[in-house]
Amino acid sequence: MSKKKKDYQKILASVQIPVIGEAGNTGDWSKLKPTINLEKCIPSRSGKPSCFNCWLYCPEGLVSRTIPPKINLEYCKGCGICKEECPASAIKMEEVDI
């Protein structure tokens, strides 16, 4: 095995996977929740696994990498990072009743 491949495997081994629900049901921490406009969402419009910035930047790992993407609102804390990172402005933060 080449040295380059060994270094790559070390990097992959160090990636941590978030555990959904580790802090309990946190979905009621905020009155703001993200909603995705599927007509603007790049993966939904193209039908291809592209973009997924919402999935990449969600600190809680609550966005699915599916077409269309879905957000697990049961654990979403309403931080709005997904909205800020969406290049298509397809995500809005909306007020919800708790």
CATH code of 8's domain: 3.30.70.20
The structure's pTM equals: 0.74
- For residue 73, the model assigns a pLDDT of 92
Residue 14 has pLDDT above 80, yes or no: no
Residue 23 has pLDDT above 90, yes or no: no
Q: Supply the range of the domain harboring residue 8.
A: 3-95
Residue 12 CA: distances (Å) to CA of 5, 57, 64 = 11, 18, 20
Instruction: In whole angstroms, give the CA distance from residue 64 to residue 70.
Output: 5
> What is the average pLDDT score of the chain?
84
Question: In 27-90, which ranges are E strands?
Answer: 32-36
The tally of domains found in the chain comes to 1
The rounded Cα 61 to chain-centroid distance in angstroms is: 5
The 10s digit of each residue's pLDDT in 30-54 is 889 999 999 999 999 999 999 999 9
